[in-house]
Structure 1
Amino acid sequence: MAEIKTVTADDLRQMEDQEGLVLQGCGGDLQEWVDGINDLFTEAGILQSGSRFGRVSVFQQDGLTNLLFPFEGVQLDVGKLAIWRLQTHAQFGGTWLSDYVPNRLGGFVQEQRPTKPKMALVGRDGNIFSIMGTASQLLQMAGMHDQNREMIDRVTSCSDYNKALHIISEYVETELTPPPIHQRSNKKKARDAHER
């Protein structure tokens, strides 16, 4: 018997690194829905090697009861699943989690990381312990105590000056800190955009 866990829209917005099938408008007994989908997908060759959806999430949105069947832990023929989803979309409102969240919930929530304190290396005393001490003070003032301890441990166990500078630059922003990687846009798709 599958575990059915209640989640919120906010929970779904935290699942950017996950994928699954969302079925919309699942009224009645949810366990019957889960058992029916497991049986249907097994017969259709979508679920393979005896795998079944063991954990399913249920959530409410726009007055509908919806089920999320996560892909983690199951063996799927994704091609067959995609065809099934397209053929039954009018009946089940099936969509991928990665499409549902941007289009219905406003996008995935990006994890807010603390801003790194800034420190210039140019013109500073070349003693690595002096540089590490200044970086340590900046991290402490920013309330980043765990990062400070981690940086000190890594720098003091490092035997290479340049590598030590790069380690410090992971924790405080210096001239050696790489530019930030742009994150994926959470813009909604246009109404006429094709789903995956």
Structure 2
Amino acid sequence: MIQEKTTEDLRHMTNEEGLILQGCGGDLQEWVDGINDLLTQEGILLNGTKFEHASTFQHDGLTNLMFSFEGVQLNVGKLALWRIQTHSQFGGTWLSDYVPNRLGGFIQEQKLVKPKMELLGRDGNIFSIMGTASQLLQMAGMHDQNKEMIDRVTSCRDYDQALHIISEYVETELSAEQPPKKFNKKKGRDSHER
């Protein structure tokens, strides 16, 4: 099956590689079948593997196909030579060349780092603790997370739960712990089995 992708999707494929063919008109499944057959005959696709993960995308008025190398056994040297020899026919290029040269580069996913805050020795006022956490989140540029944290804490009615909510957004002594267990009055101990 051929997946449809956007150029934005390709810009997020930072850890993948594939072969892009440009200007593929007509029936795309015929293209996929034909390329699989051709590259098998050329000794490029090995051990009966085929390009199973093909995608199509539009760019500069052209319909293009991208063949992912995932799960495919290839003679990469032969494929590189074939790509150069057939460039005028297929416009073949690597995903890792196409994205930087035609689409403006890959988009690196930035993982937000939680600011650190110690709870030990702090004033036990939950609003004071939330205020400090809020300032740390604002300074880190985590404005959406800050608003979400404040909304969750202010609608929470339990002090321990509020501390655990804050600890989801800023790194505290509680960040690695599980949320507090509910006390079961009938049994006189935690309601969860130990």
TM-score range, shorter chain: 0.5 to 0.7
Secondary structure at 1:31 match in 2: helix
Q: 2:11 matched to which residue of 1?
A: 13
Aligned residue in 2 for 1:33: 31
Query: 2:116·2:172 contact (CA, 8 Å) conserved in 1?
Result: no
CA contact 1:26–1:65 (8 Å) conserved in 2:
yes
* Residues 71-90 of structure 1: pairs in structure 2 closer than 5 A: 71-90=69-88
Which structure has more relative contact order (CA 8 Å, sep 6+)? It is: 1
What is the Cα deviation at residue 85 of structure 1?
0.4
> Is residue 152 of structure 1 aligned with residue 180 of structure 2?
no
Alignment of 1:1-196 (within 5 A): 3-117=1-115, 130=120, 141=134, 142=137, 143=145, 146=168, 148=170, 152=174, 154=176
Gaps of 5+ in 2: 124-128, 138-144, 150-164, 179-194
- Where structure 1 has 5 or more consecutive residues not aligned to the other structure, the ranges are 120-127, 157-196
1:77-131 Cα deviation digits (max 9, x unpaired): 1111001001111111100000000000000112133254366xxxxxxxx8628
Q: Distance in 2 between matches of 1:149 and 1:46?
A: 50
* C-alpha separation in 2, matches of 1:74 and 1:62: 29
Offset of residue 30 of structure 1: 0.5
Bigger shift: 141-150 or 93-102?
A: 141-150
In structure 2, give the amino acid aligned to 1:152: L
Q: CA deviation at 1:54?
A: 1.3
State the shift of 1:13 in Å. 0.5
Q: TM-score, normalised by structure 1?
A: 0.64
